Amino acid sequence: MKPLLRYILPALCAFAGWSSAAAQNVESMLRPGDTIELKLSGVPAEEITVVSSVYTISGGGTINMPYIGELRAAGCRIRTLTGHPGRAPAGTDVDVRPLDFADPAGLAASLRGADTLYWEDVTQGDEIPQIIRGPLNRLDMTCYYAGAVGTSGYKSTKLKWKYAWNAKHHPELLPNNYDPSYYAAAISPSIGHQDESVAQSELGMPNAYDNGPQRIGMMTSCVTNWIGDDGEVRELSVRLKLPVIFGDINYFKGRVTGKRLLGKDALVDCEIWAENQLGQVTAKGTVSAALPRRA
């Protein structure tokens, strides 16, 4: 795969750079729904058939590439799905601040993986590489609830039946301490996270919106990407400040605020926060992570 990436990445970076420059020319700006044709040569024929294709820019300004996954073009703009005080009117364009694809090495900078981050190499004030999630949409919520504990209305047929049966006959077997009526409900209590009409008419929200634990999990990913496989989150505290509405982008960021030794643990303390595409802070918190020490 690595030799193939040498051919794919330059093409992508050229596309991203052209997109950014084209932003100055309204007539040639790339927009969601536009198509991009990518042709490769000088690689095995079976690889050419996998990669050479016509790719459509999604509503979030991304293309989905073989081997690489989803990439967002620099300079692309998305169309917001909703409007409310402090947010752009529905149907207008809002700026997205994507990763800089002119720097291919930066694509994987926020994912440490098996590369060890040592306690001694961390300094107070260090920035945690940001991660970006969004724009939030109905598919995000469906996938979240399909995998979340509980939420019987989103489960597969067999598991949904099992939860509903246990709610009525064996509540002690349910996976958490939610009220059994939650699992027995014919209509999902969480439907406001997916249905705009319910969110507006019954809950007073401008549109469907995210789930708190879902956003906290995304914030934690920002930290776990940074500390790598050898690090371990020990404490986490997050306060949600604003809802994330369908069409919003999440930018998760963090900064090291201190280091300390606690028994055998070498800990780093960090502040973490989430912003939307308007620069509004939607969540703030703190996290402590244990890192290995150099011998």
The one-character DSSP state at 72 is E
Same domain, 172 and 125: no
| 113 domain residue, yes or no | no
Q: Are residues 170 and 215 in the same domain?
A: no
pLDDT recorded at residue 275: 94
Note the pLDDT tens digit of each residue in 13-45. 444 433 333 333 334 466 667 787 877 777 777
Residue 111 belongs to a domain: no
Domain of 96 in residue numbering reads as 2-104
Tell whether 131 is covered by a domain: yes
Residue 160 maps to a domain? yes
Total domain count for the chain?
3
Which CATH number is 132's domain given? 3.10.129.10
For residue 19, CA distances in Å to 4, 22, 26, 31, 101 come to 23, 5, 11, 9, 11
Last residue of a domain, which of 201, 218, 243?
A: 201
Give me the pLDDT at residue 83, please.
Answer: 45
**How would you class 48 by CB atoms within 10 Å of its CB: exposed for 0-12, middle for 13-18, buried for 19 or more?**
middle
pLDDT in the model for residue 253: 94
Main-chain dihedrals φ then ψ at residue 124, nearest 5 degrees: -55, 130
Whether residue 31 sits in one domain with residue 79: yes
The residue among 270, 276, 236, 269 whose CA lies nearest residue 254 is: 270
**129 & 269 share domain:** yes
Same domain, 124 and 52: no
227 in the same domain as 160: no
Residues in the chain with pLDDT values less than 50? 1-28, 76-85, 94-101, 107
Give the three-class secondary structure for 245. Answer: strand
Residues 28 and 87 grouped into a single domain = yes
Q: For the whole prediction, is pTM greater than 0.85? A: no
